[in-house]
């Protein structure tokens, strides 16, 4: 359970909080949920891409990520100071009701997920992803960051940064990548459900 909760905390922190802090400090309230995830994930991918492509140490990558997050938050603070506090301000009552609905969805889904387990779509897909994570896990164990020899350079994509992140978390908590399937899918599926929830809400707001 400790590994489960720690993994959920790490993924929530790096895949949501940096973008949320930026939007909160910059006083941008429109579509805050989905943009929090989009900004956070983009930051991880952008910083990881040159390290994966040209090589580097895990320590330098960690330093770069946290400097990037600090800069993002500082920029959000500067943007917020130059914005009118009234701008982009939604109805508070509707916002409160909206987040109560979102919280209800998260609670129900969390209970289901913990009780039943993760849904991994096509089994061959999940094992393909796990195999990719294991390739990066060998690099993480060596303390270096680069494209594994088993991945041809033409098969490398910026999204490989996600596989690297999975491998890094797996190494940090000290368990196999397969053990993290449940907590990771809890976070990512919750983000997906939240995105669908707010998209549907916005789609139907005029009805």
Helical residues (DSSP H) of 16-147, grouped into ranges: 17-25, 32-54, 58-81, 92-116, 123-142
- State the pLDDT confidence band at 159, using cuts at 50, 70 and 90: low
Residues 2-49: pLDDT tens digits?
888 999 999 999 999 999 999 999 988 888 888 999 999 999 988 988
Higher per-residue pLDDT: 89 or 47: 47
pTM value is 0.80
Work out the average pLDDT over 162-175: 88
d(CA 123, CA 120): 7
Residue 153 has pLDDT above 50, yes or no: no
| pLDDT at residue 59 tops 70 | yes
What crossing angle do the helices spanning 160-173 and 2-15 adopt, rounded to 10°?
A: 140
Residues 132-144: what's their mean pLDDT?
78
């Amino acid at each position: 359970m400790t590994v489960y909760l720690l993994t959920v905390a790490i993924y929530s922190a790096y895949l949501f909080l940096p973008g949320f802090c930026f939007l909160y400090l910059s006083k941008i309230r429109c579509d805050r949920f989905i943009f929090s995830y989009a900004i956070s994930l983009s930051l991880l991918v952008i910083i990881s891409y040159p390290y994966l492509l040209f090589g580097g140490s895990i320590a330098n990558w960690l330093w770069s990520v946290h400097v990037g997050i600090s800069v993002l938050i500082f920029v959000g603070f500067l943007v917020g100071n130059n914005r009118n506090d009234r701008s982009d301000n939604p109805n508070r009552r509707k916002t409160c009701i909206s987040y109560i609905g979102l919280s209800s969805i998260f609670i129900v889904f969390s209970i289901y997920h913990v009780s039943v387990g993760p849904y991994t779509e096509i089994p061959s897909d999940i094992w393909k992803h796990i195999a990719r994570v294991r390739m990066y896990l060998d690099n993480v164990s060596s303390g270096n960051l680069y494209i594994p020899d088993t991945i041809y350079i033409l098969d490398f994509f910026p999204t490989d940064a996600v596989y690297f992140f999975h491998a890094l978390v797996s190494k940090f908590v000290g368990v196999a990548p397969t053990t993290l399937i449940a907590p990771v899918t809890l976070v990512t599926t919750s983000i997906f459900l939240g995105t669908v929830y707010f998209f549907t809400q916005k789609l139907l707001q005029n009805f």
